[in-house]
């Protein structure tokens, strides 16, 4: 791992993400880029009397002030988190957040995005979502989401939830890389639900065959029964006191995403544990 991207909005959760990124960088020797994106409103500007005024001059001043303030906050963030020995560069830009992150991931050949997440629920989750969700859905590299401060960040128990069929092979190298970084135990889990019930014996055989095929080491095989997959993953992680959940995602967008949803994105929203997502493509 050579490059870690930490998008920040200067929230507490973004601070926690930077702390985690520094901990990972210390183990891997990776460099970190801190990125803040100023998003501009696109509505017309009106004077106090309701007349349309020149947007150029007003918006230029507005943007310059935002950029100046953002750079000051970036310096404060750097002073807040001890990062001696870790290379950290910073960038402040005016753009759409998700578009800018995707472009930086591609152009800088980023290996990992670490983002803070506040989570959401109910109608807010359906109508608005979050930038973190969008990055999870579209980023070309693994995304680690962090909600709470992780003091002395050290991963010893990782939950890997999947059906362990052909699709997981496209991400197995990333799974093994993160396990190796922390010398962690990998807990493979299949969530058996009433709507897609299978024999536990058949599932275990499938999981063991996959583990052998992919050369996994230091792992456990687990079949966990629950009503829905998302709850099963969270309950299993709680039962073993997992430090991280790994979850593949298909990265669907648009109407197909609304129809199918995403267990990975639901986990990012609803669990307090760090979640590492990676695309199956």
Q: Is 224 helix (H, G, I), strand (E, B) or coil?
A: strand
> Hey, which CATH number is domain 3-144, 3.40.1280.10, 3.40.50.620, 3.30.70.1350, 3.40.50.150?
3.40.50.620
pLDDT of residue 49: 39
pTM value is: 0.85
Segments of the chain with pLDDT less than 50: 43-54, 121-129, 252-261
What CATH number belongs to 154-279?
3.40.50.620
Give the neighbor-by-neighbor strand order of the sheet with 275-279.
88-94, 31-38, 3-7, 112-116, 143-146, 275-279, 244-249, 157-161, 185-192, 219-225
CA distance 219 to 197: 24
Range list for CATH 3.40.50.620 in the chain = 3-144, 154-279
pLDDT of residue 190: 93
């Amino acid at each position: 791992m050579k490059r870690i991207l930490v998008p920040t909005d200067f929230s507490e959760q973004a601070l926690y993400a930077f702390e985690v990124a520094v901990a990972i960088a210390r183990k891997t020797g990776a460099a970190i880029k801190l990125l803040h994106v100023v998003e501009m409103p696109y509505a017309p500007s009106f004077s106090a009397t309701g007349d349309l005024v020149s947007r150029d001059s007003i918006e230029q001043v507005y943007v310059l002030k935002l950029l100046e303030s953002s750079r000051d906050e970036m310096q404060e963030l750097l002073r807040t988190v001890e990062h001696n020995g870790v290379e950290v560069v910073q960038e402040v830009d005016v753009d759409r957040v998700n578009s800018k992150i995707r472009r930086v991931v591609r152009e800088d050949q980023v290996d990992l995005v670490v983002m803070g997440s506040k989570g959401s629920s109910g109608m807010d989750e359906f109508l608005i979502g979050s930038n973190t969700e969008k990055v999870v859905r579209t980023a070309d590299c693994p995304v680690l989401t962090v909600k709470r401060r992780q003091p002395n960040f050290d991963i010893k128990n990782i939950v890997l939830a999947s059906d362990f069929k052909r699709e997981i092979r496209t991400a197995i190298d990333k799974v093994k890389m993160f396990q190796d970084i922390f010398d962690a135990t990998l807990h493979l889990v299949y969530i058996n639900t009433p709507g897609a019930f299978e024999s536990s014996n058949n599932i275990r055989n499938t999981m063991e065959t996959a583990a052998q095929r992919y050369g996994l080491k230091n792992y456990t095989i687990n079949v966990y029964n629950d009503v829905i997959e998302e709850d099963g993953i969270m309950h299993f992680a709680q039962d073993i006191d997992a430090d991280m959940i790994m979850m593949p995602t298909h990265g669907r967008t648009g109407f197909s995403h609304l129809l199918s949803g995403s267990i990975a994105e639901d986990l990012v929203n609803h669990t307090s544990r760090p979640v590492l997502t990676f695309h199956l493509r």
